[in-house]
């Protein structure tokens, strides 16, 4: 074995060994989190890795940075093969993939090496330009974060340059080894030829530079926010944000088991997956750019939530696991939390995620709109951390905005978040000849459909009109349906979103008892929050029903031509439809409400707000925000309504009673007279009778 080979073996073992030590350290840190099983649905998870990880589906949602990042990622995949070949050549100079690959495949491989090296170089140059010249708002960060990004970009650029130079020198040494497919290397060789008379020596230098750079890059990653290079594919596989777990479904709490700590006030109360999310964050800021709270000037930033979680882990885990903190790169520790930063072991133990890194105010500003989760290119679930921390605030520390206390009390006493008399729940239906489940059961009958009215539809004056409109459609189509009447009460979703899992489980369990007593199979509802809760979260507690949102139900009736409609005449009506987060992002129902509008009103011209469908902007009511004051920044509903009004719409259509309230308030704030109608009201307005 030559001296050079021995040296290479030594350097490789050293580099790989140090990297393995770091990986092992990070895994140990992650294990201070709570256990969670993510081994289900391997096929779906693998599909996510292919679509989101390898094909970079979510990365392309950003038309500028997306292609740039995808190029770097794909380039890395392709060029890793080239780097392995180069390293093996360090032991055996004659080694080449050409020895065993079919000729055409080797040519393709050789071609891809040159082309991708150049493309990645171009992408790196563009990334430098964005960071140093354009300064996009979502990439804002402190000096350390910028330095970290520039170091990584510099190393990626260095890897590409040295790779091309090794090939170019190789061509000068032995032209037969570099075919015409590596035309870029050949071109560089042509430029080098007159400059240096010792291509073999030069190749040796570039070769060592490339190998050392690979090892330095690999070992820098665990100390950098670019750790995601290593973790993101694993994170996508283990994520539940794109199936197999349904998006936005909250983790059920075992209230019997979790007696000492409800929810999370520190990193060890989160799951290992939440902590892996922290390792995987690229700090791209896409989540924060999409966050309605942040957009309207509030301090909540989902990026900060995830970065702070990682920073706190890096502060606490070394102490808890007995590691020494000096090993840590400041980029992983310093950051956006007020008290974030290198701390003594004593301070590290005194600190906690809540208050020292993440404030109560931030947590209560979240509307649970899921935009952050939707946008994250590496399938991080920022909302899960927020929800767990809200649970701790409410159940462990009794800290929450004072205005939600009445909602909790009313849910407990009256079965609705408002202090209405439960006896008035079915008053909206008086005179409409709608049977209750109890009445039908007395006659030994069971309807095909249960119309779940919801608390808004039952008590809110404006939403009651939506309930009436939907009931009129059902009757006009001769649908066999009933309501629960006074036996209906809130399923507890607002309590769950506001962190009160106890109250939620109490209300939900009771509701399931009622539904099962009547052997309910199919439920329709005009509220996306009820739709999501009954359909997606009730199964956690043993309630399994087919739940259909009224947009889908009406669309099916219209498609089957069962709805007796007047023929629409007159001027075209310009309508803008506002997507509800719990219908759209949570459940991917985007077309049904639009189709319903188009089918019911052929004279309608549908216009879209700039932020629509899965990029839709929240109305501001979700996550219990409906019951809280909005004390900081611009009101979210005002921002959204201005955007809808700017489309020139003559009517704004919604498919959610919460959106109805928020957008109507927004229209009033804008002193506009544009009507806001639920899609059921649009259809009911066209009924023949």
| Interface ranges with ligand SF4 (CB under 6 A) | 281-287, 290-293, 300, 302-303, 306, 366-372, 375-376, 378, 380, 382-383
Is 33 or 616 the residue whose CB approaches ligand SF4 more closely? 616
We find the least distance from the C-beta atom of residue 303 to ligand SF4, in angstroms, to be: 4
Is 225 or 489 the residue whose CB approaches ligand SF4 more closely? 225
CA distances from 372 to 77, 174, 185, 307, 505 (A): 27, 53, 43, 14, 26
Is 371 or 520 the residue whose CB approaches ligand SF4 more closely? 371
Take residue 677 and report the two structure tokens written for it. 């109608």
Give every CB contact of residue 351 below 8 A, 6+ residues apart in sequence.
312, 315, 316, 339, 343, 357
Q: Which of 493, 138, 131 is nearest to 291 (CA)?
A: 138
Per DSSP, the three-state class of 678 is: strand
We find the least distance from the C-beta atom of residue 623 to ligand SF4, in angstroms, to be: 7
Element (H, E) at 193: none
We find the least distance from the C-beta atom of residue 528 to ligand SF4, in angstroms, to be: 15
Is 124 or 305 the residue whose CB approaches ligand SF4 more closely? 305
CA distances from 70 to 123, 163, 186, 371 (A): 9, 20, 26, 21
Q: What is the arrangement of strands in the sheet containing 449-452, beginning at the earlier edge strand?
A: 481-482, 449-452, 522-525, 546-549
Is 55 or 568 the residue whose CB approaches ligand SF4 more closely? 55
Per DSSP, the three-state class of 575 is: strand
We find the least distance from the C-beta atom of residue 611 to ligand SF4, in angstroms, to be: 12
Element (H, E) at 644: helix 636-645
Per DSSP, the three-state class of 634 is: coil
- Alpha helices (runs of H) in 291-419, residue ranges in sequence order: 292-295, 302-321, 330-333, 345-350, 353-356, 360-364, 371-375, 382-391, 405-414
We find the least distance from the C-beta atom of residue 565 to ligand SF4, in angstroms, to be: 37
Is 306 or 524 the residue whose CB approaches ligand SF4 more closely? 306
Residue 428 to residue 163: CA distance in whole angstroms: 74
We find the least distance from the C-beta atom of residue 304 to ligand SF4, in angstroms, to be: 9
Is 56 or 410 the residue whose CB approaches ligand SF4 more closely? 56
Take residue 410 and report the two structure tokens written for it. 């009313």
Is 98 or 144 the residue whose CB approaches ligand SF4 more closely? 144
List, in sequence order, every residue forming a beta bridge with 565; answer none if it has no partner. 687
DSSP state of 526: S
We find the least distance from the C-beta atom of residue 305 to ligand SF4, in angstroms, to be: 7
Is 331 or 649 the residue whose CB approaches ligand SF4 more closely? 331
We find the least distance from the C-beta atom of residue 382 to ligand SF4, in angstroms, to be: 6
Neighbours of 147 (CB within 10 A): 13
We find the least distance from the C-beta atom of residue 295 to ligand SF4, in angstroms, to be: 9
We find the least distance from the C-beta atom of residue 618 to ligand SF4, in angstroms, to be: 6
List, in sequence order, every residue forming a beta bridge with 607; answer none if it has no partner. 576
We find the least distance from the C-beta atom of residue 66 to ligand SF4, in angstroms, to be: 12
Residue 401 · residue 623 · CB < 8 Å? no
Is 199 or 285 the residue whose CB approaches ligand SF4 more closely? 285
Residue 367 to residue 549: CA distance in whole angstroms: 21
Per DSSP, the three-state class of 422 is: helix
Is 475 or 615 the residue whose CB approaches ligand SF4 more closely? 615
Neighbours of 396 (CB within 10 A): 18
Is 131 or 204 the residue whose CB approaches ligand SF4 more closely? 131
We find the least distance from the C-beta atom of residue 342 to ligand SF4, in angstroms, to be: 22
Give every CB contact of residue 102 below 8 A, 6+ residues apart in sequence.
none
Residue 509 · residue 537 · CB < 8 Å? no
Q: Which of 225, 325, 307 is nearest to 267 (CA)?
A: 307
Name the packing angle between helices 302-321 and 272-280 (round to 10°). Answer: 110
Give every CB contact of residue 316 below 8 A, 6+ residues apart in sequence.
32, 266, 267, 268, 348, 349, 351
Is 365 or 651 the residue whose CB approaches ligand SF4 more closely? 365
List, in sequence order, every residue forming a beta bridge with 97; answer none if it has no partner. none
Residue 653 · residue 677 · CB < 8 Å? yes
We find the least distance from the C-beta atom of residue 139 to ligand SF4, in angstroms, to be: 10
Is 86 or 636 the residue whose CB approaches ligand SF4 more closely? 636
We find the least distance from the C-beta atom of residue 288 to ligand SF4, in angstroms, to be: 6
């Amino acid at each position: 074995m030559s001296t050079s080979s021995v040296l290479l073996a030594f350097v490789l073992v050293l580099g790989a060994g140090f990297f393995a030590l770091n990986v092992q350290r990070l895994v140990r840190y992650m294990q201070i989190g709570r256990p969670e099983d993510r081994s289900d649905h391997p096929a779906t998870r693998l599909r996510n890795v292919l679509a989101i990880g390898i094909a970079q589906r979510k990365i392309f949602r950003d038309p500028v940075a997306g292609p740039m990042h995808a190029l770097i990622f794909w380039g890395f995949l392709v060029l890793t093969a080239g780097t392995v070949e180069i390293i093996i050549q360090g032991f055996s100079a004659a080694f080449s993939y050409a020895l065993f690959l079919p000729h055409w495949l080797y040519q393709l491989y050789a071609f891809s090496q040159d082309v991708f090296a150049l493309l990645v170089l171009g992408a790196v140059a563009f990334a430098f330009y964005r960071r140093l010249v354009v300064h996009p708002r979502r990439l804002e960060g402190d000096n350390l974060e910028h330095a970290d990004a520039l170091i990584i970009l510099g190393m990626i650029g260095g890897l590409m340059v040295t790779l091309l130079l090794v090939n170019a020198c190789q061509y000068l040494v032995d032209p037969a080894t570099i075919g015409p497919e590596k035309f870029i290397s050949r071109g560089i060789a042509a430029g080098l030829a007159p400059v240096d008379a010792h291509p073999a020596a030069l190749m040796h230098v570039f070769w060592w530079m490339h190998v050392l750079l690979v090892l330095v890059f690999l070992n820098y990653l665990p100390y950098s926010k670019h750790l995601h290079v290593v973790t993101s594919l694993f994170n996508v596989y283990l994520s539940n944000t794109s199936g197999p777990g349904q998006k936005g479904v909250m983790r059920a709490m075992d209230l019997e088991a979790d007696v000492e700590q409800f929810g999370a006030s520190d990193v060890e109360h989160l799951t290992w997956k939440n902590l892996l999310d922290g390792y995987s964050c690229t700090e791209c800021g896409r989540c924060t750019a999409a966050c309605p709270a942040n957009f309207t000037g509030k301090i909540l930033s989902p990026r900060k939530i995830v970065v702070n979680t990682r920073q706190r882990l890096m502060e606490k885990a070394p102490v808890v696991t007995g590691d020494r903190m000096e090993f840590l790169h400041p980029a992983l520790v310093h950051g956006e939390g007020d008290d974030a930063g290198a701390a003594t072991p004593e301070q590290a133990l005194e600190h906690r995620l809540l208050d020292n890194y993440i404030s109560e105010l931030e947590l209560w500003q979240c509307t649970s709109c899921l935009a952050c989760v939707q946008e994250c290119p590496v399938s991080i679930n920022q909302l899960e951390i927020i929800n767990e921390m809200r649970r701790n605030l409410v159940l462990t520390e009794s800290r929450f905005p004072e205005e939600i206390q009445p909602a909790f009390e009313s849910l407990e006493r009256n079965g609705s978040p408002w202090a209405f008399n439960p006896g008035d729940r079915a008053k909206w239906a008086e005179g409409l000849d709608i049977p209750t489940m109890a009445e039908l059961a007395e006659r030994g009958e069971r309807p095909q459909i249960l119309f779940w009215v919801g608390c808004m539809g039952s008590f809110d004056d404006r939403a009651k009109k939506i309930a009436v409109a939907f009931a009129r459609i059902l009757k006009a189509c001769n649908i066999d349906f009933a309501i629960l009447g006074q036996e209906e009460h809130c399923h507890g979703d607002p309590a769950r979103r506001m962190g009160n899992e106890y109250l939620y489980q109490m209300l939900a369990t009771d509701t399931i008892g009622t539904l099962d007593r009547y052997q309910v199979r199919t439920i329709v509802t005009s509220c996306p929050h009820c739709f999501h809760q009954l359909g997606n979260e009730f199964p956690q507690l043993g309630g399994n029903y087919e739940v259909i949102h009224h947009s889908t139900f009406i669309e099916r009736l219209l498609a089957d031509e069962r709805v007796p409609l007047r023929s629409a005449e007159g001027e075209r009506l310009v309508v803008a439809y506002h997507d509800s987060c719990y219908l759209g992002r949570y459940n991917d129902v985007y077309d049904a409400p639009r189709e319903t509008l188009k089918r019911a009103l052929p004279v309608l011209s549908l216009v879209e707000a700039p932020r629509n469908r899965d990029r839709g902007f929240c109305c501001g009511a979700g996550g219990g925000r409906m019951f809280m004051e909005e004390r900081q920044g611009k009101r979210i509903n005002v921002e959204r309504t201005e955007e809808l009004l700017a489309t020139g719409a003559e009517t704004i259509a919604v498919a959610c009673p919460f959106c109805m309230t928020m957008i109507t308030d927004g229209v009033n704030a804008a002193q506009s007279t544009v009507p806001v109608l639920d899609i059921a009201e649009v259809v009911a307005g066209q009924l023949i009778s």
